[in-house]
Amino acid sequence: MTRHPTLAVLAADLEAGRTTARKLVEDCLARIDDPAGEGARAFIHVDRDAALQAADAMDRLRAANAAPSPFAGIPVSIKDLFDIKGQVTRAGSRALDDNPPADADAPTVARLRRAGFVVIGRSNMTEFAYSGIGINPHYGTPKAAYRRDVGHVPGGSSSGAAVSVADGMAHAGLGTDTGGSCRIPAAFNGIVGYKASQARVPRDGAVPLSFSLDSIGPLARSVACCAALDAILADQPVVPLSPRSLKGMRIAVPSTVALDELDAVVKAAFDRALTTLSGHGVIVEQIEVPEFNDVAPLSAKGGLTAAESYAWHRYLVVAQGDVYDPRVRERILRGETQSAADYIDIVTARKSLIERATARLAPYDAVAMPTTANAAPTIAELADDKAFTKANLLALRNCTLINMIDGCAISLPCHRDGEAPVGLMLAGVNGADRDLFEVAAGVEAVIRG
C-alpha cells in the first residue's frame, strides 16, 4: 500500500513552498476521479468547486503570512453524518433525501475550517452508522485498501473516511465512533483511528446513533496526526506530542472477552506486537477484567444503541422503512421491544460498570487488545445474513467494551507489510486522552519495525 504523507509532512511542505493547497486538492480530486479507484464509492458527494476555491484562499493567506494554522489548505473528508452548511445530511441513507440543507456547519466541521482544512467531500458510511462492517446498498461499498482484487469490507461505520485516507483522496477524515466506527475501519485499512472521551468533542450537528455512546474522532496516518486533529476538534491548542518512554510503561491486556475467538492473523500480529513492546521494556500484564463480562448482557435486547436509535427513527422508519437497508432497519426496530424499565436498568447498570472498570484500569498507562477479533472479511462472503451478523459482532466486540466504559481509545496498525491489516487498540479511562496519545506515540515508533 502506498505510504501517503502525514499532516506534519504536508504542513512542512506547504510552509517551505514545496507544494500548495491548490496542488494538494487537485491531487486528491484526481485520485477520487480515478476510474480504477474507489472514489465513486468512498464519497457520497465531492465538494470540487468549493474545495478548489478554499485551497486558493489558503494559498493567498499563506503568501500573506496569515495562514490560520500550519495545516491550512490540507484536504479532509467529512463523514456523511455531519452537517455542512448548504448540503443535505443523508447519513448514508436515502430516507433523508427530502430533508432541507443544513443551515450551518456542525461545530466540528466549523473547527476544522477555522484551522484552514479544506473540505473535499462527504464520505460514505454504513447507513445511519449502524454496523461495524461498512457495507452500504444505497451508495456502494468501497473496498478496503488490502487486496482490492479480492474485495474486503472497509469496516464501519466510517468506511469512506478510512478509504479516503488510505488512498490519498483526503489526508484525514472526520468520523464518529459509537462502538468502533473510527477504529474498525482504521484497523481494516492500515491507518490510525481515534475514539475520544465522549464529552471531549461536541456532537451537535451530527445525526445520532446512540447519544449515550456516540463520540467523534479523526482517522489519519499517524498518532501525531490524530492528536493534532483531536485538539482542534476539542477546541484546544495543538501542542507537540512527546512520545512516552516505553521502559517501565505498564500495559494491561484483558484476558476477559477481548482475546476470545481471534482470527489466526489477528492473534499472530497482536502477540508479535506485545513481544516487541516487552523487548523495549514495557511491562505487559495479562489481567482479568470481570466488568467486560457485563457488556454483552446489557446488549441482549439491542442495548442502548437500539433503544436510543429507535427513539430517533421511530417516525421515519414507519414512513420510509422500505427505503432503509433491511439489516439496519432490523437492528433499529429491536429498540421497539424495550420497555422504559429495560432502558433504565441498562443505564443504571452501565453507571456501575463505568465506575468499576475505571477503578480497575486507571493504574495502568494503557489497556491493549486487538482492535477487532477478525481481519476484514470479503464483501462477497457477507452476502449471507448469518455470516454478516457474526462478522459484525466480532468486529464491534472489543471496541464496544471501551465505549461502554466511557473510555478513550486509538487503533494503530501492527501488521507487517503485505499481511492483512490488523489493528492494535490502546485504551485509557475517561479523560485520559492526552496521556493516551503520548503512550500511543511511543508504541507506534516500534510496533511496525
Catalytic residues: 79, 157, 181
Q: Is 264 exposed, middle or buried, given 0-12, 13-18 or 19+ CB atoms closer than 10 A?
A: exposed
Angle in degrees, 0-180, between the axes of helices 21-33 and 7-16, rounded to the nearest 10: 130
369-390 burial, b at 16+ Cβ within 10 Å, e below that, comes to bbbbbbbbbebeebeeeeebbe
Give 10-41 as a DSSP string.
Answer: HHHHHHHTSS-HHHHHHHHHHHHH-TTSSHHH
Which residues does 58 contact at the CB level (< 8 Å), separation at least 6?
21, 67, 72, 73, 116, 118
HSE of 284, CA atoms in CB hemisphere, 13 A: 19
Distances in whole angstroms, Cα of residue 322 to Cα of each of 97, 292, 307: 14, 36, 20
Which residues does 268 contact at the CB level (< 8 Å), separation at least 6?
none
In whole angstroms, give the CA distance from residue 103 to residue 108: 15
In whole angstroms, give the CA distance from residue 398 to residue 401: 5
